[in-house]
Each structure stands twice: as structure tokens, then as C-alpha cells.
Structure 1
């Protein structure tokens, strides 16, 4: 068994790496997982989009044998990292024919996002942190969801369903419960097949 730590904040692309600096949970991953030999940008198109609604998210996860519980737990990976303006521009400019800004966004938070990502934004690397502690693996992400301060509309959709909102509330109130669920779902996700080889060294192909 190998001790691995989660470091990536992006749903299905949550990574398993040998070490990190975020202070995230560690767990034993069963040996025998098959990894790919090449990385293809086209394969990322299969990942849930930041604009997905709750039905689309549930369908995407279910297609991979992952449950609603897994969906909410793994979404917590968004406690780490940074998002470029293009991934949440839809929420702060021309949201609909009647509203410029997504009404589920807390007003002051929406204003702060608009200030760093104006409609005429030309800054290549402009964007916002995914939560207020972007380098710490904690449950702040869930607390912000309940306050209407999420970055992606897919994140905010987690509070539009009674079941997913209950899980969001549970994880917001207990970092221990979040990390326990996250580890369980990561181990489950690591069993998804599709790779070509069992790595001798997790960082390089054989």
C-alpha cells in the first residue's frame, strides 16, 4: 500500500501524487491501479464543466460509477487552487436576458469578481482563488457555498438539491467528516479502470 495525498482541485481530475504542501489528508491506496501512458488534452473534455447544473453533474458522476455522496465529497477538492475568468465569466456578465449577474452570487462577492474580471478583460492570467484559503485543504469551500460565494455555477448547484445541500451543510460544519468522505470517494475513484499500466514509480511511466 502507498501513502498518497490529494493535491488537485478539479473534480475527476483530482490527482494522486506522492507528496504535497497543502496539508491534505493521506490514505492507503490499494496497489494495482492502472494509469495511462500519455496525457491527452482531449480527454479533459470528459470532465464535468464548471457550468454544469446538478442534473448534469449527477449524470456525469453516475456514468463513472460514482454516487451523489462522491460528487459532493470530491467537489471539495475545489478548496485548493485558482480559476481563470473564462471559467466563471458566465455568472458575472450577461447571465441572462433579465439579469447581468447570477442571482445566487452574494452581491459583494459578485462585485469583487467583476472587479478582477471586467467584461472587457484582457489580462491573460486574471481570475480568482477557488476559496479564501486556496493553499490549505480545509472545509472552507463548503462554508462559502452556503454563503453564495462559490466561483463556479457547478459548485453553487450543489445547494439546489435537498440531498446535496444536506451534505454540503454536513461538510461545512465538520472538516473531519469532509476529509473522511473525501478519502473514501478518492479510493473509490482510484478503482475506475481505463489505464494501461501499473506504475513502478507513481511519478513516471514505466
Structure 2
């Protein structure tokens, strides 16, 4: 999920505490819109690819958006809702302040409403845009997507704060954050691989450089050479504007390189380094060093994440405009 990790750690960064609601995607299926809106998936891909072609940072942003949406109330597009005078929505919660790509989602929705009014949910658009943005690099879909989500009608900033995994999490809190969403240890490690693209803000890891235990010290688990490089970019604990690549030199290429740098103790966030503090997680990291294994497993794990707490059938709604509840 890298796009400005901020608190996302792609679903690796903050524990979403909201219950999954007992619905785990049983009604999602491939080709859901085959009859009701046969052009739907192609429309999403065309518009997404058009924008990624001119803005290669979008894949990280859409992955992060997908993670942050699914970890709060399930994958219901609640992250897209605008705040009102009476409600501060998820979008304006601290972990989501640096999310981006909303304009592309709106463009897709506008086209779909013209082609097939009231048919395609914003939740499915997020799911497709995440997959399609990453797939642009390969000129083909790199994982399968099941559809049929409906949109939620509640969005609260407080729930984002309570549910999104933090980059400061240790292994225990990270694992619990994922378990709360019915995701496994395997899913945690594999989905962390999304940090192979995108950037992180200095203030979410600079404590590892300057004040790890509150005594002006550095994190001893961070590669010292890498730490010295990071210090030239993040010069103080208070810097909350500078961003750094999560996968140095490869932050626009979706691959398994994240796991290579992780083994070299160059994971940017404390939550990255945490994966090496547990034998089971560390063994999975080693498995992900094989590229084909990573791509296969990532496709499976993001499918599981995309089924968290989904609304299907007559639940929820199909929003006419993604930022506004009908």
C-alpha cells in the first residue's frame, strides 16, 4: 500500500477495530456486472490506465486507499465520503489525510453512471482501480477480482483512527490488527509487500533515527548505513512534509523487492521491521523472495482483504456520487 503511508502501512499500519460484521464476501463473484453493465470493468481499466500513464505514483495511492477502506467498516467505499457540517468522515481522519486519487474515482463513477446508471458501486470501483493501477505496469491483470460489493452509508473519522494499523506497531499489535479482520499471519506478511511501491512521511519513522526509546537513540534493528542516508532526508523529528521512498530506487515498480530490503534491515517503518521479530513471519518473508510466489500469494491475500465486511444483496446502496451518501 505505499502511497504516502502515513498511517496506512497498508492495512499494515493501523488496527482497525471495527467488527467484520460476519459477512466475508460469500456473495462476491467474478464477472458480477457481465449482464447488468458489461462494459464496467473495461471502463474502470481504461480510465485508470490513462491516469497511471501520466502519474506513476497512482498505483501506491490506490492500493493504500483500498486497504484503508477495507479496514474500516469493511470494503464499502466509506473512505470516499465527504465530511458534512454534522459529521467528520473517514477521509478527514489523520491516517487518511494523505490519501489521493479521489478525482480518478469520481471520473470513473461519472462515466459508469452515464453508461449504466445505478449499477456499479463505488466500493467495487476502488477494488478494481487498485488492481488495474498496479496492472498497468504489466499490461495485463495481475490478480483476479471478485465483485458485487455495495456502498455503505456511514463514515466516521473516529472509526478510521480506531482501526487503521500504525507504522509504529510492533508484531503483536500488527498481528492482532489483521486477526481482527479475519486476516492471517500469511496475509499480514504478503500484504506488507505493497510497501514495494510508494512513499512514507518522515514523521512516521524518524523516531527510529533520532529518539527510538525516548533517550535520543536510534533503532538498533535499522541498518546503520541506511539510517545515515535517511538522516540526510529527514533532518528532524518534527518534519511532517518530507517523503521518502519505501523501497529505495524501486518505488514505482511493483515487485517483491520489499522483502529483499527487509532482510537487509532496510524496512522503513517499525511495522516493517516487526515482521522479522517473529519466526513464523520471518519464514514467510523468506518465501516471498521468490517473485512468482509473491505475485501468486499477493493476489490471494488481497482477495481476502477485499472481502472484509462487504455489503451485498440488498444491504447498503449504490451511490450516485461516491463522495455523497444517497
2:244 equivalent in structure 1: 128
Name the count of aligned residue pairs. Answer: 204
1:12 equivalent in structure 2: 67
1:78 equivalent in structure 2: 195
Q: Residues 125 and 148 of structure 1: is their aligned pair in 2 closer, same or farther, counting only changes over 3 Å?
A: same
Task: Please give the per-residue CA displacement for 1:59-106, whole angstroms capped at 9, x wherever unaligned.
Answer: 110011000000001111111111111110221111125661101111
How many Å apart are 1:27 and its aligned residue? 2.4
SS in 2 for 1:100: coil
* Larger Rg, first or second structure (1 or 2): 2
More strand by share: 1
What is the 5 A alignment of 1:55-204? 55-97=172-214, 100-119=217-236, 122=239, 125-132=241-248, 133-172=250-289, 174-193=290-309, 195=311, 196-197=316-317
1:23 equivalent in structure 2: 137
SS in 2 for 1:64: coil
Is the 2:200–2:243 contact (alpha carbons within 8 Å) kept by the matching residues of 1? yes
How many Å apart are 1:203 and its aligned residue? 10
How many Å apart are 1:200 and its aligned residue? 9.1
SS in 1 for 2:203: helix
Comparing 126-135 with 13-22, greater Cα deviation is found at: 13-22
Is the 1:17–1:203 contact (alpha carbons within 8 Å) kept by the matching residues of 2? no
How many Å apart are 1:26 and its aligned residue? 2.5
Is the 1:9–1:81 contact (alpha carbons within 8 Å) kept by the matching residues of 2? no
RMSD between aligned alpha carbons?
A: 3.0
1:34 equivalent in structure 2: 150
- Are positions 1:48 and 2:198 aligned together? no
How many Å apart are 1:176 and its aligned residue? 1.0
Is the 1:85–1:128 contact (alpha carbons within 8 Å) kept by the matching residues of 2? yes
Q: Residues 134 and 199 of structure 1: is their aligned pair in 2 closer, same or farther, counting only changes over 3 Å?
A: farther
Instruction: Extract unaligned runs of 5+ from structure 2.
Output: 1-29, 32-40, 49-58, 70-125
More helix by share: 2
- Distance of 2:283 and 2:322 partners within structure 1: 36
How many Å apart are 1:47 and its aligned residue? 1.0
SS in 2 for 1:137: coil
SS in 1 for 2:292: helix
Instruction: Extract unaligned runs of 5+ from structure 1.
Output: none
- Distance of 1:141 and 1:80 partners within structure 2: 8
- Distance of 1:136 and 1:68 partners within structure 2: 25
TM-score (norm 1): 0.84
